[in-house]
Structure 1
Amino acid sequence: MGDKIDVEKLISYSDDLVQFLKNEKDINSLKHCVEQSDTLHSRCRSDHTGLHTSLQGYHKQIDACKQKIEAAKAEVASDVEIHLLQKELDEEIQKETLLREDLR
């Protein structure tokens, strides 16, 4: 608590505030400002909640897409696997051709 309060400034500020609040018009203006501030705060909180909910939904959608991508990658054969399978198919076709020729 190293802060020192300037008592003279504090008293001066208090006097100014009292003078300001003595005027009925100023009080009504202050009330109006407070009401607008509360309304704005409420709208901001509502917008924040809506955006937060949307953001959570987007994160869930992104996670679902990532899972679908991983599942699709797991189902799709790699180029090397396809090449090996093609080689095996070609070999089997050659064997079949040779067997047909032998049967003739």
Structure 2
Amino acid sequence: MAASAGESQGVERLLSYAEDLVAVLCVSTDCDDNAQVGAGVQRLLSACRSESDDLEMQLKEYQEKIHSCKEKIDKAKAETITDDELNALQSKMEEKLQEEKQLRQELRVLHDELDDLESQRLSIKERKDAVKKKKKDTQKAERTLSMCLSVTNIIPNLEDQDKVSGCIL
């Protein structure tokens, strides 16, 4: 920006010098030649001023574009994360994945233990039911035996089903 201001002052000085030169030429004694040269210089001076103004406008536009680009770059930098932050996040994610893997393994072990306990429970229930049935059958046999004893006064021998035998009381 400082170089631009220095260049702008240099252009202004050059244009001022050209105006002074036009004024000197107009005062000179050879009027026709000086008038032609003065008119040419006047046109040149006007073209230089116009060109200078155009360049100054373009310079301002480019400076605004540069400033806009710098703002966009700063915004993009603010929105992106650094490699250190990315590495930290990645290591945290890996730790979480490892933790999840361990929890899944523990869940599998617990599920297997639960299945094992369920099969044990079913086995115990089946044995309980078998014991109840056997007890019920025993009670039925005792009642039958008691009935036989009370009616006939004979205790039948139930171990040998092929023969009819018993003990008289």
Which residue number corresponds to residue 103 of structure 1?
107
Which residue number corresponds to residue 31 of structure 1?
35
Q: State the Cα deviation string for residues 26-75 of structure 1 (Å, max 9, x = none).
A: 42211101100110000000000000000000100110111011011101
Cα distance in structure 1, aligned partners of 2:72 and 2:81: 16
Larger RCO (CA within 8 A; separation ≥ 6):
2
2:75 maps to amino acid: A
Which residue number corresponds to residue 114 of structure 2?
none
Cα distance in structure 2, aligned partners of 1:75 and 1:67: 12
- Residue 46 of structure 2 corresponds to residue 42 of structure 1: yes
Cα distance in structure 2, aligned partners of 1:27 and 1:48: 30
Runs of 4+ in 1 over 3 A off after TM superposition: none
TM-score normalised by length of structure 1:
0.74
Which residue number corresponds to residue 11 of structure 1?
none
- 1:77 is paired with a residue whose SS is coil
| Structure 2 counterparts to residues 35-74 of structure 1, below 5 A | 35-74=39-78
Runs of 5+ unmatched residues, structure 1: 1-19
- Residue 92 of structure 2 corresponds to residue 88 of structure 1: yes
Which residue number corresponds to residue 119 of structure 2?
none
1:97 maps to amino acid: K
Runs of 5+ unmatched residues, structure 2: 1-27, 109-169
Cα distance in structure 2, aligned partners of 1:101 and 1:27: 107
The percentage of counterpart residues that share the same residue type is 36
Residue 102 of structure 1 and its aligned partner are, at CA, apart by 1.4
TM-score normalised by length of structure 2:
0.46
2:70 maps to amino acid: K
Which residue number corresponds to residue 5 of structure 1?
none
